[in-house]
Structure 1
Amino acid sequence: MLVIKRLKRGWGRGASVRASGEYTRGRARLERRGGGRRRPCGALSGWNPPSRVDIRRSFASCSPVPHTHDNTRTGPRSVLFTAFEPSGDEHAAVVIRELRRRDPSLVIHAWGGERMERAGAVVVERTGLAATMGMPGLAKILEHRRINRRVESWVKSNRPCLHVAVDSPAANFPICKITRAHGASVVHLVAPQMWAWGSWRVRKLRRLTDHVLCLLPFEPDWFEARGVRATFVGHPLLDHELDEEAIEAAVHGFPEGSPKVAIMPGSRPSEITANFPMMLETFRRIRERQPGAACVVAATTERVRERLREIANEWGGWPEGMDVVVAGVDSATRWCDLAIVVSGTVTLHVARQHKPMVVIYRVNKFTYALVGRWIIAADHIALPNLVAGRRIVPEIAPKTNDDPAPIVEQAMRLLDDADARRAMRDDLADTMRRFEGRSAATGAADAIEQTLRELRPALVGAT
């Protein structure tokens, strides 16, 4: 009854009102404050409140939410990218580079990182230096609220016609609401992993996006079934060929030994702190059984390398036979017999070279018991398993304690069994074929340009 009363007062958020051309609440609030020019909405004239049957049908149809866009802008086209994690910076950079290659006059601003800046974006504020995964603390929440206020101020002054939100739905959703309220179109680059946990969030996504660009082949069907326009564009990681010459040169400098174990501890400070102590102890125990074992740890940045050294000093020192490299994931993967990997995009780095791996991810025991166990819906966590639709690599996640025994057990099983390693390599090769023939940069740039043509027709010829 409350929904029906709100719809009859003309400000409700029901799908049937949106379908008839009603303003979004955010846009209406903006206009009442004098922040936007009122535009006629012809469908409202003579509008009759929908019946209860109409309301039920509208919600049941689960169709994407049309958005009233501002086609009155003049001047150069302007696009805003927002990314808040190192992986988002990497994903966005390849798309920005392709957009700028196609149209050097396209103005791209960003809340982002160094890669986005090098690709051609004008970075308004640097982000991604202390990304978190899972439930953020109070300090992080307050920080993002301050960022949101600065973004809103910037949007009011610069009025981008398109907002590309990159991954990080918790950080990006409030910004999408801001940009949408100011008349911008919204495209999501990297689909929020709602198929894995928190599937109810898809209702918010329907309100806040025009198009979701998916990196994994199974995602579009999931979103389309829930009324969200979605397209599989491929994965940016696979857009470029491996630099064989650089990889071989790096491998020659790695330590000798057998078996060779690569450790990939992730990029986020929180996941490094949670997982690296277990990984250290895992290698120590492998070396107890195989005294000739060697290890290379792949750090994403110099800052991560320093943090890894600090953690090792706190947990018994740096093990003998272990080395660390910066930005050397591909070379460490080529060198190793087995990789021990924190769940994330790095698993695709390992999978593209068809190397056996053990995937881990430690979570807070109390948070998982109270919340995580009830909202995680996916059968798998590791990306190779998700893409394959079955478990082809062992995953020890979510892990709620720091006992390395299960990791050691899976690692030794693979190191001792050549047939098991060969079968895993074959499965990984078959899985990675699903990405063949795709270029994420090209596919995402095509979709963004199409969005500009569809939703900003007045701007296509403005430059």
Structure 2
Amino acid sequence: MDATPAGLLFTAFERSGDEHAAPVIARLRSLHPELPIYALGGMRMQAAGATLLDLSPQHGTMLLDALGQVQTHLKRLSNLKKWLTEHRIRALIPVDSPAANWSICSLVRKTQPQAKIIHLVAPQLWAWAPWRVRKMRRLSDHALCLLPFEPAWFAQHGIQATFVGHPVFDAENEQRRIDAAHATTLPQAPMKLALLPGSRISEIKSNWPTMLAVLRELEKHHGTGNVCAAVGAADAHIADMIRTSLIPVPNESTPSSSLIVKVDATDEVLDWADVALLTSGTVSLHAAAHRKPMVILYNLNRLTWMLVGQFLMQTKTFTLPNLISEGQGLGRVVREFVPHFGEVPPLLEAVQTLLTDPAARVQQQTGITRIMQVFEGMSFADQAAGKIMELIGRP
């Protein structure tokens, strides 16, 4: 064991985990520059000040995407086990991705039982497979929750948890939204639609064809000159997938000419649009931060849902704005189609209502504004960094 002071180890295996951990690392680094911070993660965590032990995959949840990832993860565990014999840590901070992080939590429990395990972005045990709560109790000292209703649920199941706000609503991101609004080059049109199909390749494959079909139906009803849509693609690879889907197929009608694909421009696209059609996930909170009327979907295989999915899920509400609203004792505030099985007409009706009825848009915006008040005045990075330091016994 070397003489370096015991530090913190962050582990993240998805793009969102990298994004969530980075501001917390940056805040810890600025407040406690003497504290060693290590990471299995992405480039954002490294840029924030962490010493990167390994660059983890950032394309979907590890161990669930491909069997080939299992061997990679086993090798990573072996390397980490050796590293832990040489370095003491005050705390392990796993960030989301429980499928990948449980094994790391277990390794730390066995090799350094004195180390705290502090989950940043609590696993959504309340939503599905709740039997995992036993594992969570064993492999957790505290959970830092991004959603306001989560601490009460965890407390009922014997797990200590704290609501720390959400990075989407931090002041820095509010400034980014303002800058995006001023910098947009997107064209004006009577009806402007944001399409946000997700950040994972599997999500694009499942949801994008349905979104495109909704757009084409809107163009048929209202004319291509009256409808303009912009896609917020998470990265260049996803943008290429979407552009490829627009290449004309022989004997088929010409694809939409009113569709614009933007890379890493979610705020610009949302600020510009009148309405958003998006895949269920964190992006719904981005839309809420813009007070943007929205319709949310998530396509699933019908047979898989009937045989497996419906028995795993513990909630009848799936989208974050509606979950937050119901947690406050209110009803749903946005239209959600989760699970959905690809049908275009119900989505078309919901989107068309918002595009053509100003009163419907205002009603949804009022509900969104009400539920977002719980995040006001909270700094995710400050709250999370402060709680981590409190839990490891430092001022």
Aligned to 1:353: 290
Give the Cα separation in 2 of the matches to 1:167 and 1:216: 13
Q: Is 2:248 the partner of 1:248?
A: no
Shift of 1:243: 2.9
Query: Which stretch has the larger CA shift, 433-442 or 359-368?
Result: 359-368
Selected match of 1:313 from 211, 232, 247: 247
Give the Cα separation in 1 of the matches to 2:284 and 2:203: 15
SS in structure 2 at match of 1:370? helix
Aligned to 2:201: 269
Would the aligned equivalents of 2:322 and 2:333 in 1 still touch at CA under 8 Å?
A: yes
TM value normalised by structure 1: 0.78
Aligned to 2:270: 333
Aligned to 1:289: 221
Give the Cα separation in 1 of the matches to 2:324 and 2:235: 28
TM value normalised by structure 2: 0.91
SS in structure 1 at match of 2:232? strand
Give the Cα separation in 2 of the matches to 1:259 and 1:378: 34
Aligned to 2:40: 111
Give the Cα separation in 2 of the matches to 1:237 and 1:161: 28
Q: Is 2:348 the partner of 1:408?
A: yes
In the TM superposition, 1:7-406 aligns within 5 A as 75-132=4-61, 135-183=64-112, 184-239=115-170, 240=172, 241-243=174-176, 246-251=179-184, 253-291=185-223, 292-313=226-247, 319-389=256-326, 390-399=331-340, 401-406=341-346
Q: Is 2:359 the partner of 1:448?
A: no
Would the aligned equivalents of 1:255 and 1:321 in 2 still touch at CA under 8 Å?
A: no
The 1:363–1:151 alpha-carbon spacing in structure 2 relative to 1, beyond 3 Å, is farther
Give the Cα separation in 2 of the matches to 1:82 and 1:153: 16
The 1:187–1:424 alpha-carbon spacing in structure 2 relative to 1, beyond 3 Å, is same
Q: Unpaired runs of 5+ in structure 1?
A: 1-35, 37-72, 454-459
CA deviation string 1:335-380 (max 9, x = no partner): 1110001111110110012110000111233332221110101121
The 1:151–1:318 alpha-carbon spacing in structure 2 relative to 1, beyond 3 Å, is farther
The 1:396–1:245 alpha-carbon spacing in structure 2 relative to 1, beyond 3 Å, is closer
Give the Cα separation in 1 of the matches to 2:117 and 2:248: 45
Give the Cα separation in 1 of the matches to 2:15 and 2:120: 14
Would the aligned equivalents of 2:6 and 2:87 in 1 still touch at CA under 8 Å?
A: no
Would the aligned equivalents of 2:4 and 2:87 in 1 still touch at CA under 8 Å?
A: no
Shift of 1:134: 10
Give the Cα separation in 2 of the matches to 1:386 and 1:274: 23
Aligned to 2:376: 436
Shift of 1:244: 5.3
Give the Cα separation in 2 of the matches to 1:314 and 1:396: 29
Give the number of aligned pairs: 382
The 1:245–1:439 alpha-carbon spacing in structure 2 relative to 1, beyond 3 Å, is closer
Larger Rg: 1
Q: Unpaired runs of 5+ in structure 2?
A: none
SS in structure 2 at match of 1:344? coil
The 1:375–1:296 alpha-carbon spacing in structure 2 relative to 1, beyond 3 Å, is same
| C-alpha RMSD over aligned residues | 2.1
Give the Cα separation in 2 of the matches to 1:365 and 1:122: 44
Query: In the alignment, residue 195 of structure 2 is paired with which amino acid?
Result: I
Query: In the alignment, residue 200 of structure 2 is paired with which amino acid?
Result: R
Aligned to 1:421: 361
Query: In the alignment, residue 430 of structure 1 is paired with which amino acid?
Result: R
CA deviation string 1:69-128 (max 9, x = no partner): xxxx96323111001111111110110010001011211111111211111112222224
SS in structure 2 at match of 1:313? coil
Query: Which stretch has the larger CA shift, 142-151 or 387-396?
Result: 142-151
Shift of 1:415: 1.5
Would the aligned equivalents of 2:230 and 2:259 in 1 still touch at CA under 8 Å?
A: yes
The 1:196–1:244 alpha-carbon spacing in structure 2 relative to 1, beyond 3 Å, is closer
SS in structure 2 at match of 1:377? coil
**Poorly superposed stretches of 4+, deviation over 6 Å:** 314-317
